Structure 1
């Protein structure tokens, strides 16, 4: 490999001095191709050439979906689609496209403010994806995350960036038929799991059109021709033609050459011989392909045979080239490897063709390169036709959610609107000196990761069969998964607090509910909906809320007036923390970890009314109710009776829920049926999904 790189550098130096020409013109790097058996050897060859100042470009027929960049983009898109899942963000950051080291990832996780910035970036890109489609979001991500610079700094940066942009182009093409991010992401995962090597659109592209040496796998070189070809591995064969002689696959001549496997029959020896014959024939075929690609000159590199380790000598004996070359007595040189000399090898080649010359290895050489004048660039005023270009990229539909609707207007006071937790770093003052601040419910950390942790615990806990020890273990696992620092004695107090939440009484029209009464069969965790809307009109939605006949809380009406009056066609997407069935009715429940104060009285109805309006939670549960109503009508039709079958919504502010005080920290509402129907009309009723 080193000798090949030295010879190429020497040829190019000679060309720059006018001593190496091709058809009257100076030899250029693109006239040279290096044929290798595998991509691993191609990467090694490129590294050897780079050490000598020679730029090279990969040429392959491998699917771009088999690249690490496809996996990295998939990891990044998964994190963007689900910003609250810490594990997805960690996986994306250490992928090949982001390039974080483990040390950098750990440092980032210890910096709460920096980590929250990453999460907010994901949320912003997700909103862009849902509003304008994949490609506008992808281009914005490229710029804001400085992806090109990150990727180009890595080894083989140009190759990596070309792969990344190629995969993005294929994803954009598919997004026309799969506009939903979740469906598009699932499609990408399938392509990566089962890449189609035969699809021309998926074949890796050249990373540069510049004048560079071509690195080509022998398989990819079939049907192509290059002026000068190097085959540095033509002498190398398999040390064992059949990897496992106890498990032999072969083509049975007596059965129309059907592929068969022998795992120990009485004919194993014969089948092993057949398998070895087929493996050797494949090596001959590849050698033929390699040595017939050159138009003007072919280089075959060979090793210093006397210095080879015994493992390499075994592979050399199985190499077709050593069987093709013969001594003067007609014996294959594979039988004389230890006694081979330069004259003997030269004679063997000349018996094949008198025009063959054999020489020793060249000395280490570095390519000096040539100076090329750069084109003169001039700046001109931007054409006015680009003023509205970004909008031409927007899809005619939108995929919106409660979070994107409430983020539509900028206000520091509502920066956390739609979240189930407090903003990281928010400090809430003590209300008096007798506050019960030593209770875990009030001391437990705040922020997005705290909220994610508590949600995960409730989702994976059997409310009716849990005990303190089991729950403490679940808490520990959830905190570790969310990246929260965990003291050795922290989990048991958190478990005791959450057991108290499960035992807290909730007074409803049909009786007193405690969450620890709900079995797994009564619960539906993380119910996802995709609500088809022919015309989403936020202004009309707000006008419906303001109608006196529906009796909507005045503070909710006032808060709704601050929403941006958007109007669009598309889908509303969301996840409901919990839907449960109790006393013959369905209820929607949402867990909230917001810190409202360090006394139970800070979670009374008046306090909850404030946070329900300020954070637009009223809008969230109205959208949830509309989605559930459509879902039940689609499932049951006329058998579904809203007044009889729907019990309403419960917003559970778990820091305030206590076994000693009924309904503390609980916001309960059952919107009137006419309000839900009117809101669905304002949303442009489409297909319930």
Structure 2
């Protein structure tokens, strides 16, 4: 062996070896082994094909040789093909032998044309098939906006994104798609107060959606980091470039006020202090079989009982209820939902007093939204929180009517979670309680 020697695997009767020289015996043995394997593969291909097997054969070469050597392949070995000038003659002889075998047919290849395949066209269409099973037309996806759309004389589609949900929500507050009018100059706020300046901010869907976007961006950056005027003002300038400088400054102060407002849950707790939260939490509530009248009866009996509110339009519900919560946060081991409302309730601080907030909640049927959202949060925590107990872990719902939060004690609606009401709603949605059987809840207000 020398530096130019080629290592050749060598199979012998006693095992495998490696030849480091030009030994004819080793080369012949390896060639025979390769041919055996090639013939085996040809056999498997021809005998195991389920539908068809196509083999290409012609004067081609394999490896580093300069002459066609198809005859040295496994198929060439089976057909006993010859090399060089004898290839064509040996190939034709092989075809003649095959044609004489039973079950073998030799056909010439089809002639080459440039015609394109055209699918046959039936003269007449077959008769339409008749459905043989019942299609459930009751199953659908609904939402809070969809359940209350009749209150606002608008046909509302199910929101696909949080932005669409915000738009539907603000639309229900104003009743108009676009409205950018300032309030009349008859407000009774202190002219120097933030509330007075907030009253001059635009009304309508554009402003409501803008406010939600600002608070969403503040949450993404971190409420703690966002709770300074410079950060809020820069955020407002990015998203509300069409506002005047005074309006931008007022809106930045409003965002800062929302983030530093002492929450009702604990006097010292602010959004800026909250570290565990989820913005725009999407949820899907499976609904087995129920009716809006049953849900309405539950809410009217146990959420601010005895107080007037518009009835929900009668609907049969089966499928899913979809929605987006503005904010879900955890404070002191309890979980809360928070919703921002830009509703204009009046031109004085007293219009945002707690009793007027209850009226606003019921007029827009936010009581339904609140209980649906708390039920969704309840199911979420039930699935993911070890040793979950709604009486311990489910905090409640906060609604911030932001146009009135600058006045002490105004603009904040808080409802602690009532586990029995949540359980009753959960049972209604899962069809575990018949409307005729009543609800397993106490007749008490959730305030």
TM-score band w.r.t. shorter chain: 0.5 to 0.7
- Which of 293, 299, 302 aligns to 1:539? It is 293
- 2:85 is aligned to none
Matches within 5 A, 1:535-684: 535-547=289-301, 550=302, 552-555=304-307, 558-559=308-309, 562-636=311-385, 639-658=387-406, 661=408, 663-684=409-430
Q: Tell me, what secondary structure is at the counterpart of 2:289? A: strand
Q: Distance in 2 between matches of 1:530 and 1:685?
A: 16
Matches within 5 A, 1:93-242: none
Work out whether 1:455 is the aligned partner of 2:212: yes
Distance in 2 (CA, whole Å) between partners of 1:294 and 1:590 is 63
| TM-score (ref. length: structure 2) | 0.57
> What is the aligned counterpart of 1:440 among 175, 191, 197?
197
RMSD across aligned positions (CA): 3.3
CA contact (8 A) 2:182 2:199 kept: no
Structure 2 counterparts to residues 32-43 of structure 1, below 5 A: none
Instruction: Pick closer, same or farther for the CA change 1:667–1:431 going to 2, 3 Å.
Output: farther
Partners of 2:203 and 2:209 in 1: CA distance: 10
CA deviations over 1:97-120 (Å, ceiling 9, x no partner): xxxxxxxxxxxxxxxxxxxxxxxx
1:13 is matched with none
2:252 paired residue number: 495
Q: 1:536 to 1:463 in 2, by over 3 A?
A: same
What are the superposed Cα offsets for residues 42-70 of structure 1, whole Å, 9 maximum, x if unpaired?
xxxxxxxxxxxxxxxxxxxxxxxxxxxxx
User: How does 1:3-82 map onto structure 2 within 5 Å?
Assistant: none
Instruction: Return the alpha-carbon distance in structure 1 between the equivalents of residues 300 and 245 of structure 2.
Output: 52
User: Within 2, Cα distance between the matches of 1:434 and 1:533?
Assistant: 46
Q: Please say if 1:403 is aligned against 2:145.
A: yes
How far apart, in 2, do the equivalents of 1:568 and 1:457 lie? 34
Counterpart of 2:114 in structure 1 is 292
Q: 2:272 aligns with which of 480, 504, 516?
A: 516
Superposition deviation, residue 458 in structure 1: 0.8
Verify the 8 A CA contact 2:395 2:417 in the aligned structure 1: no
Considering fraction of residues, name the structure with more helix. 1
CA distance in 2 between counterparts of 1:620 and 1:477 reads 31
* Partner Cα separation in structure 2 for residue 528 and residue 421 of structure 1: 21
Query: How many corresponding residue pairs?
Result: 287
For residues 417 and 263 of structure 2, the distance between their equivalents in structure 1, rounded to whole angstroms, comes to 18
Alpha-carbon distance between aligned partners in 2 of 1:607 and 1:472, rounded to the nearest angstrom: 31
Distance 1:433 1:609, change over 3 A: closer
Quick check: which has more Rg, 1 or 2? 2
Q: Give distance in 2, aligned partners of 1:652 and 1:680.
A: 26
TM-score with structure 1 setting the length: 0.38
Once the two structures are superposed, residues 280-302 of structure 1 have per-residue CA deviations (whole angstroms, 9 ceiling, x without a partner) of xxxxxxxxxxx93499xxxxxxx
CA distance in 1 between counterparts of 2:201 and 2:382 reads 41
CA displacement at 1:541 relative to structure 2? 1.1
